[in-house]
Structure 1
Amino acid sequence: MEVLISVPQLRGRLESARPPVLLDVRWTLGASDGRDKYLDGHLPGAVYVDMDTELSAPAAPLEGRHPLPGPAEFAGTARSWGLNDGDTVVVYDDAGGTSAARAWWLLRHAGWEDVRLLDGGLGAWRAAGLPLESGPVSPEPGSAYLSWGHMPVAELQDVGTVAAAGTLIDARAPERYRGDTEPVDPRAGHIPGAVNRPSTHNLAADGTFLSPAELRASFEALGVRPDRPVAAYCGSGIFASHEVAALAQAGITAALYPGSWSQWSNTPGTPAAVGTGPGRAETLPEKG
């Protein structure tokens, strides 16, 4: 599976007879200025993609903060980006791909084969001295055919089995994994049996992905093995998509748990663990 495209590779593709469709997926937890930042400056021709309305269904406590959109809704959204059969799609953000990976994962799940993350994102484009444009881009709707179900998905009832039989990766920041703090969801801690590996560990200092060999060694150090199940979760299924992309870059197939901690912590009776290790299961109370 081809996951990444470099800035030089993208420049070459943009000069071809059929340039890629560019999607700008800037998003930050707790902020709503992604579109404003896009309007101030984006890759030429890039279409803005909204995380909350285009890459997610409406939030619901028992589904999580960013449930997957429905197949028909997502197909219509993708066509609104100007997507036609045979197009290459390149997605990017200004955070090392940690939000753009959600669009990458959804398009792969919808059967789109040629979709790449721009390695280094907006920062790498700027570092190369390449131009930006401002203002909105409103393409003519495309006629792409999309299906559904092409990427592995773990549901709430599956993740305990993955943790016991393989490796369940929590891609959140260490302090949230440990349960030291929980700024968003009703309970602190992590799913019992999960190991912590923040999605930012997929990146080098310049915001590009580590090499496949480096990524593979890092995942193997967590206990990931090719003959055992692997799944990733985070707060609401966004950064975990980046973990799945990094695993794919390392040659490892992994499932995404879309509901993630936002679903798990809202589901009555689900246990939680705290501390630095996978932990003993406890049913922790909701925040008062």
Structure 2
Amino acid sequence: MALIEVEELAALIHQGRPPSVLDVRWRLGGPSCRPDYLAAHLPGARWVDLEADLSDHRRNRGRHPLPERAAFEAAMRRVGVDEDRPVVVYDADNALAAARLWWMLTDAGHRDVRVLNGGYAAWTAAGLPTEGGDPEPAGTGDFVARPGQLPSVDGDQLAELIAAGRAPVIIDVRGAERYSGESEPIDPVAGHIPGAVNVPSMINVDDSGRFRRPSEILANFPDADQTTVVYCGSGITAAHTALARVVAGLPLPTIYPGSWSDWITDPARPVATGDRP
């Protein structure tokens, strides 16, 4: 089960050994949400910085390159993540950033990671308590990162499959205007990977940021195959779609972590435009 509801988490927090609760609120392009965390967060939650802890901007693999194994392991140990202790991650509301951490922890071998459905907004809407300030440092966790547990693909591998006529189903989960190339506010090249279909990730959540019913999510996807590749702008929204597919009972797809921002770094890779649904 990939999601947890606020009522269940509220009950678990008061147990003798509650889950590790991680706050990964984030805004694309900044500013940092750490001031929001310091103002108020879930009881016992520890701050995780998506830009510093879940990305390594020194690496040339798109806008949010995955960090090296040792760096990610150290970040998770710093916030108290243990091998045998459940982890709950949350962000402001729609799970976009939380899904990134959910996918990374799961890919690194943690066996019990869930995302708070509706995030911080759902927690406060339920009238549940928060706390502010910077808590005492968490005890050092013992989590050992073993990345590679989930299917992924890099740009060169995907380009080779396309060139050989063996491309899997490819889903671009950005908004329709970015997929078609009509608008590209972030990356220097507009368009999409040839052959990709467009299923914007945000159609899988409602206006409050909660995931829709499994049957509604299932209707958004033309396939049910783990070899399906999902990509976005820099790998973050792709993880959100992976989470949505799990919620719907579909197999985890193959993620292209570098996504569009990595694809366009090689001018030999083809680019398509148009085909807006």
Q: 1:77 aligns with which of 75, 83, 98?
A: 75
Which amino acid is 2:263 matched to? Answer: W
Q: Which runs of 5+ in 2 are unaligned?
A: none
SS of the residue 2:220 aligns to: helix
User: Separation in 2 of the partners of 1:49 and 1:57?
Assistant: 14
* Matched residue, 1:197: 199
Conserved 8 A contact 2:89-2:98: yes
Conserved 8 A contact 1:59-1:66: no
Provide TM-score, normalisation by structure 1.
Answer: 0.89
- CA-to-aligned-CA distance 1:100-128 (integer Å, 9 cap, x gap): 11000000011001000000111110110
Which amino acid is 1:174 matched to? Answer: A
Question: Please, what is the CA RMSD of the aligned residues?
Answer: 1.8
Q: Which runs of 5+ in 1 are unaligned?
A: 279-288
Conserved 8 A contact 1:165-1:229: no
User: Separation in 1 of the partners of 2:261 and 2:182?
Assistant: 16
Structure 1 residue 197, shift from structure 2 partner: 1.4
The number of aligned residues is 272
* Matched residue, 2:88: 90
SS of the residue 1:159 aligns to: helix
User: Separation in 1 of the partners of 2:212 and 2:169?
Assistant: 21
Structure 1 residue 165, shift from structure 2 partner: 4.3
User: Separation in 1 of the partners of 2:214 and 2:56?
Assistant: 32
Mapping of 1:1-288 within 5 angstroms?
Answer: 2-60=1-59, 62-137=60-135, 138-160=137-159, 161=161, 165-219=167-221, 223-226=222-225, 229-251=227-249, 252-277=251-276
User: Separation in 2 of the partners of 1:276 and 1:192?
Assistant: 10
User: Separation in 1 of the partners of 2:58 and 2:232?
Assistant: 15
Structure 1 residue 164, shift from structure 2 partner: 5.5
Structure 1 residue 59, shift from structure 2 partner: 4.7
Conserved 8 A contact 1:57-1:68: yes
Please identify runs of 4+ aligned residues in structure 1 that moved more than 6 A. none
- CA-to-aligned-CA distance 1:155-185 (integer Å, 9 cap, x gap): 1133353796432111112111111121221
Identity across the alignment (%):
44
